[in-house]
Structure 1
Amino acid sequence: MIEDALQDIPRIMTALAEWGACVLYISLSPKRLRGAALVAVLIAGLGVLIGVQTIAGALPLGLWSLGMVLAAGAMYGLIWATTDMDAKGAGDLVARAFVLAELIASFEWQLDQSFFAGEHWGPARVSLVMVVYGAAFVAAYFAERRNFPPGVTIPIDGRILASTLSIALVTFLMSNLSFVTDDTPFSGRAGQEIFYIRTLVDFAGFIALYAMRSQRLQLMRAVELQSMNTLLRTQHQQYLRSRQEREAVNARYHDLKHYIAAIRQETDATVRSGMVDQLEQSIRGYEAVAVDTGNAVVDTMLASKTAQAELEQITVTSVVDGTVVDFMDVMDVVTEMGNALDNAIEATARVPEREKRLVRVAVYRQDHFALLRFENWFGGELTLVDGLPATTKDDAHHHGYGLKNIRQAVEKYDGTLTVNVEDGWFVLRMLVPIPD
């Protein structure tokens, strides 16, 4: 057996590598535990991993696969207990952590056997472990950080998890095959070169998993960008339609002046009453358009969204000075007003109590800032992810990308967007500095 000719990685070093890899991916993921509780579980996890590896090392060669399963199970328990991930998400992290641990442990042991083969454990040998493990985990952290941006969660379905687990399993089996038997076409037989083969296979597995997640992240961002652009185009089209409606109202107003003059000149009371009825009928539906905030774009968006809210039996009250956003680009005003009102109206439409179907809008100047405030009845608990409400599958399209569009438009002017719940009201605030 090749394992009789070559000393394999000590079990405690394997446990340390597995624990370090788990800690790395835990640090990059949303946490279930924090503070002292997190530290306590991590310390306990290290003890469990060392115990599992000690037991695995005592198992006969025929139960080699059982030792692997026990170690993976311990890593899964540690990751699941500390991260706010579902079962599939935790499984994906375990596969990545397992391959990374194998890579770092194999790389360090390859160097160790090159410099210290057969020697006792002294300060130099221990220092090599500390330096290699430390440098490797730091490098892996900065590499993987790009694939785990804050506030971004890649959904892990069964197909993705199966792919990740398959890569991890094949990597582990191929990299350790030579330590089980030399009687296969894929086994190494050239002494310490077996260590190099194992490290190379583990590195290839890590790169494959890294590339797969990077590709998934880029695809998700491309879909998100497309959805955001679609929302922007929709808002702009709504603005153009609303502007045309206002122009139609203005033309109607011009005609009404002549119609009113004709009513005044009519002497027959019956005919005059009929003309008044026709006039009332003709202006019905134009009430919401009569908005004058001092900014034509704000007038258009507020009027059209108010009319939309009335169809849902939602009352919109507004105190708006449109002149404070005159410095903003038309498209940015449309994005901010349109998405904020759309979200408020959509959320309020789901409120069963008619008396609570209320939306409040305020736009005014506060010192050297433009303050845009949108409120709607909420009455629930708010969970924030990266400063924005956590979305669900049902409303992720509008509330996810819509709010991101708003924040992007606000930050364009060095402003800030905040959301919170106050006395049962969902409150969205935009604070934007007004240029001198």
Structure 2
Amino acid sequence: MIGDLPTDIPRGFTAFAEWSACLVYILLLRKRFTPPILALSLGLGLGLLWAVQTFAGGLPIALWTAGMAMAVAAMFGVVVVCADVSTREAGYFTARAFVLAELVASLHWQLYSYAVDQGFTGVGIQVGLLVLVYGAAFTAAYLIERRHFPPDQRLDVDRRGLLSAASIAAVTFLMSNVSFVSSNTPFSAQFGPEIFYIRTLVDLAGYVALYAQQGQRLELQRAVEVEAMNRMLRSQHEQYLHSKRNIDIVHRKYHDLKHFVTAIRSENDPDAKASYLDQLEESIQGYGAQVETGNAVLDTILTSRTAQCAELGITLTCVVDGAALSFMDAMGLSALFGNALDNAIESSATLPDPENRLVRVAVYTQNSLVLVRFENYHVGDLEFDDGIPRTTKGDALNHGYGLRNMRQVVEGYGGSLTVHAESGWFVVRALIPLPER
């Protein structure tokens, strides 16, 4: 009886499998719309996939691959419309969804063919198995994939990752369906049960390969994050050494000041004495500037950066209400202000014109929000990725964590962080809601 069963899965079942696979990954990602609009978009997506599969089913066998390419394009459109991801990320998830859909559809049809061979026929058996297999398989896929795609983690799909996923999906599709296209190949099966088994097994292998690929990507990303943390620790040690050098400079300056005071006291010429006083005032600029904001942590951060700016010829202007940020802990303040000021100082120090070496910091409250704003003069164009400028350093994999850490800190307090360039200024702005008293 199984020999009479068509090896090609009904197009309606295939469309529903493709839509369900897209739904699995859309649920794991950030959504582009509110739930009502998302539900409408998903409904339209199901209709689109159904129409594409119905149209492809009427094409001659020579255009069968082209019909499947149309279905993949429709799946890509559903992911792009419903999920808040980039085009590259949408392509990556479309490849994964396509293999998952092929696997589940093939598994259902193989089980149904076995039921028919055992004498269980009828629409009820077919639909019952569809609900059971599709429901269990896609639910299991969601639970398994949730470990690999946490909602608070960036995807960072690069070109190599996209090409690798697309290649695995293409090879899986071709090898699993070669028996359907032609039975005269070294990899083709001759009988129905063999065709079903090969198709399901190859699809399973493709899905496992994609799952392992994502696991490897996560391991690599974790290794990069650990290395970044190690670099931060080394940077903290370097800052300690820098502070120690500053203390040594202050001690030497104190020693020199004693000679200045002695010279001033012994000088009888008023003009010479005035000249000594001018030299004395110039020599101590930047060493006694203690920033007071009403927040001890901010005072320390801004005072140290003020001394650093004075050494580099950068003008740092601060209008900061530190008391407004008293609800933030020391780690959060250090990550937010330390990263922002380090980036601004690093960018300003490279400007050839000293007049443009300007950094401005402002913190104030407005209604129930605290507004934090960092500005520095900037020359050149910036490329943004997910609202954050791409690092200009050559080793992009190991840099660019500062602004991400800042965004994570701000979002941890229920706020938002935006970055943009306007009129020659690079502006980082954070809006943080004041906690209810």
Aligned to 2:305: 305
AA aligned opposite 1:359: V
- Taking the aligned partners of 1:406 and 1:85, their CA distance within structure 2 comes to 21
Q: 2:374 aligns with which of 376, 379, 392?
A: 376
Structure 2, unmatched stretches of 5+, are 365-369, 377-384
The answer to whether structure 1 residue 111 and structure 2 residue 111 are counterparts is: yes
- Kindly state the Cα deviation for residue 26 of structure 1 after the two structures are TM-superposed: 1.8
1:360 aligns to what? 362
Q: Distance in 2 between matches of 1:198 and 1:65?
A: 16
**Secondary structure, counterpart of 2:361 in structure 1:** strand
1:133-169 Cα shifts (integer Å, max 9, x gaps):
0110011111112222224343444443332222111
Q: 1:40 aligned to 2:40?
A: yes
Alignment-derived partner of residue 209 in structure 1: 210
Contact preservation (8 Å) 2:309, 2:345:
yes
**What is the number of equivalent residue pairs in this alignment?**
407
**TM-score under structure 2 length normalisation:** 0.75
Q: Judging changes above 3 Å, is the alpha-carbon distance between structure 1 residues 266 and 62 closer, same or farther for their aligned structure 2 residues?
A: closer
CA distance in 2 between partners of 1:30 and 1:300 (Å):
38
Match of 2:12 in 1: 12
Separation of aligned partners in 2, 1:51 and 1:319: 60
Partner of 1:169: 170
Indicate the SS of the match to 1:359.
strand
Offset of residue 182 of structure 1: 2.3
Contact 1:175 1:198 in 2 (8 A): yes
Q: After superposition, where does 1:153-164 map in structure 2 within 5 Å?
A: 153-164=154-165
> Equivalent residue of 2:31, what SS?
coil
Q: 1:316 aligned to 2:318? A: yes
**Residue in 1 aligned with 2:381?**
none
Match of 2:102 in 1: 102
Distance in structure 2 (CA, Å) of the matches to 1:54 and 1:419: 45
Determine if the alignment matches structure 1 residue 393 to structure 2 residue 390: yes
Q: Give 1:237 deviation, angstroms.
A: 1.5
**Would the alpha carbon gap of residues 49 and 89 (structure 1) be closer, same or farther in structure 2, given more than 3 Å must change?**
same
CA RMSD of aligned residues (A): 4.4
Counterpart Cα distance in 2 of 1:242 and 1:88: 44
- Give the structure 2 partner of residue 141 of structure 1: 142
1:61 aligns with 2:61: yes
SS at match of 2:196: helix
Secondary structure in structure 1 of the residue aligned to 2:188 = coil
| Residue in 2 that maps onto 1:341 | 341
What aligned pairs does 1:183-332 form with structure 2 within 5 A after superposition? 183-253=184-254, 256-257=257-258, 259-269=260-270, 271-288=272-289, 290=290, 301-309=301-309, 311-318=313-320
Alignment partners' CA distance in 1, 2:174 and 2:162: 18
* 1:258 Cα deviation from its structure 2 partner: 6.0
SS in 1 for 2:318: strand
Check the 8 A contact 2:179/2:189 in 1, yes or no: yes
Superposition deviation, residue 104 in structure 1: 0.4
Contact 2:7–2:196 (8 Å) recurs in 1: no
Deviation at 1:81, TM superposition (A): 2.2
Specify the SS of the correspondent of 1:315.
Answer: strand
**Does the 8 Å contact 1:348/1:377 carry over to 2?**
no
Q: Using the alignment, how far apart are the partners of 1:255 and 1:112 within structure 2?
A: 93
Distance 1:229 1:419, change over 3 A: farther
SS at match of 1:314: strand
Name the TM-score, length of structure 1 as normaliser. Answer: 0.76
Give the Cα separation in 2 of the matches to 1:355 and 1:241.
21
CA contact (8 A) 2:3 2:192 kept: no
Corresponding residue number in structure 2 for 1:365? none
Shift of 1:223: 2.3
Letter in 2 for 1:74: A
Counterpart CA distance in 2 for 1:109 and 1:44 is 26
How big is each residue's C-alpha offset from its partner over 1:94-145, in whole Å with a ceiling of 9 and x where there is no partner? Answer: 2111110010011111111112346543434422211110110011111112
Indicate how the Cα distance of structure 1 residues 128 and 301 shifts in structure 2: closer, same or farther if over 3 A, else same. Answer: same
State the shift of 1:200 in Å: 0.8
In the TM superposition, residue 199 of structure 1 has moved relative to its aligned partner by 0.8
- Range with greater deviation from structure 2 (214-223 or 278-287): 278-287
For the 8 Å contact 2:99–2:207, the answer to whether it is kept is yes
CA distance in 1, matches of 2:45, 2:293: 61
Question: Is residue 92–residue 166 contact of structure 2 (8 Å, CA) maintained in 1?
Answer: yes
Question: Residue 75 of structure 1 contacts residue 94 of structure 1 at CA under 8 Å; is this kept in 2?
Answer: yes
What amino acid is aligned across from residue 214 of structure 1 in structure 2? Answer: G
* CA gap 1:246/1:302 in 2 versus in 1, 3 angstroms: farther
CA contact (8 A) 2:407 2:416 kept: no
2: CA distance, partners of 1:410 / 1:34: 23
The letter for the 2-side match of 1:116 is V
Letter in 2 for 1:165: A
Report if the CA contact (8 A) 2:318-2:360 is conserved: yes
Unaligned segments of structure 1, at least 5 residues? 363-371, 379-384
Output the CA distance in 2 between the equivalents of 1:146 and 1:81.
Answer: 24
Q: Please report how far the alpha carbon of residue 226 of structure 1 lies from its aligned counterpart in structure 2 after TM superposition.
A: 2.2
Q: Which residue does the alignment assign to 1:78?
A: 78
Q: Using the TM superposition, give the Cα deviation of residue 298 of structure 1 relative to its aligned residue in structure 2, in angstroms.
A: 6.5
Q: 1:50 to 1:319 in 2, by over 3 A?
A: closer
Q: Residues 81, 405 of structure 1: CA spacing in aligned structure 2 closer, same or farther, 3 A cutoff?
A: closer
Report deviation, 1:9.
2.0
| Contact 2:410 2:430 survives alignment (8 Å) | no
1:256, distance to aligned residue in structure 2 (A):
2.6
Does the Cα contact within 8 Å between 1:418 and 1:428 map onto a contact in 2? yes
Could you tell me which amino acid in structure 1 is paired with residue 40 of structure 2? A
Amino acid of the structure 1 residue aligned with 2:234: R
SS in 2 for 1:376: strand
* Cα offset, 1:377, TM superposition: 5.1
Q: Which stretch shows the higher mean deviation, 91-100 or 247-256? A: 247-256
Q: Say if 1:239 and 1:300, in contact at 8 Å, map to a contact too.
A: no
Counterpart CA distance in 2 for 1:263 and 1:427 is 48
Determine if contact 1:239/1:301 at 8 Å carries over to the other structure: no
